[in-house]
Amino acid sequence: MSESLDCSDLPPAPTATITERKVALDGRILEFPLERWLTTAEVIVGRWVADQDPRAIERYPRASGFTSWGVWWPDKPYSAYRLHRPDGSLRVYRLDTVDRVCFDGQRVEFHDLLLDALIRPDGEVTIEDEDEVEEATTERKLSLEQRWRIEWTKHLYLNRSALLMERIDAAIEQAIASVRTGGG
């Protein structure tokens, strides 16, 4: 079991922050304040703490006490969230199909391509929002490249969930180790 799966023995959170900026297909923008745990050219790791986000309860009425690690790779077609219950135990992995991930030093921005997946700790995968992908495809809101990216990530979610969970856990472990040793 990954050390970080039970978030009860973490080092003190970094004081530095980053902003997660999610650009929806229709242009809407959602922003979330995150603790800045690790930022390298290969991976960005932040942690959202519901009780530290003034808009969290408005957006997510049952979020109090929850935390979510966010992991972004500039070269991957997905981003990942690892959600933890108030007691620190792992609830679920959530993956978003994304495009154009970039980090400017203060903000990680990406374009959401609708298709999401939930991966439970036992490996069970649930694909979400296929109806939205179908509607956007019918309305020609997705390019051929974006549709290919969506299909490819769906295949990954369904057939490589163990690898994805390992990759997410490894990035979070790297972030925790970096903070423990004074990096980040």
Q: pLDDT digit string (tens) for 9-68?
A: 788 888 999 999 999 999 999 998 999 999 999 999 999 887 666 665 566 556 667 889
Asked whether the whole model's pTM tops 0.85, one would answer yes
Given a cut of 80, whether residue 90 has pLDDT beyond it is yes
Q: In 3D, which of 101, 117, 114, 110 has the Cα closest to residue 141?
A: 114
Q: How far, in Å, CA of 151 to CA of 105, rounded?
A: 31
pLDDT of residue 2: 55
pLDDT of residue 184: 62
pLDDT of residue 60: 59
| Residue 18 to residues 36, 130, 165, 178, Cα–Cα distance (Å) | 6, 30, 23, 16
pLDDT of residue 27: 95
Given a cut of 80, whether residue 112 has pLDDT beyond it is yes
pLDDT of residue 1: 41
Both tokens assigned to 150:
């969506």
Query: Mean pLDDT across the chain, nearest whole number?
Result: 90
H/E element, 32: strand 29-39
Question: What residues pair up with 30 in beta bridges, in sequence order?
Answer: 22
Q: How far, in Å, CA of 44 to CA of 118, rounded?
A: 20
Higher-pLDDT residue of 4, 21: 21
14-180 has CATH 2.40.380.10 classification: yes
pLDDT of residue 59: 61
Q: Where are any strands of DSSP class E within 40-184?
A: 44-49, 67-72, 78-84, 90-103, 107-119, 125-128
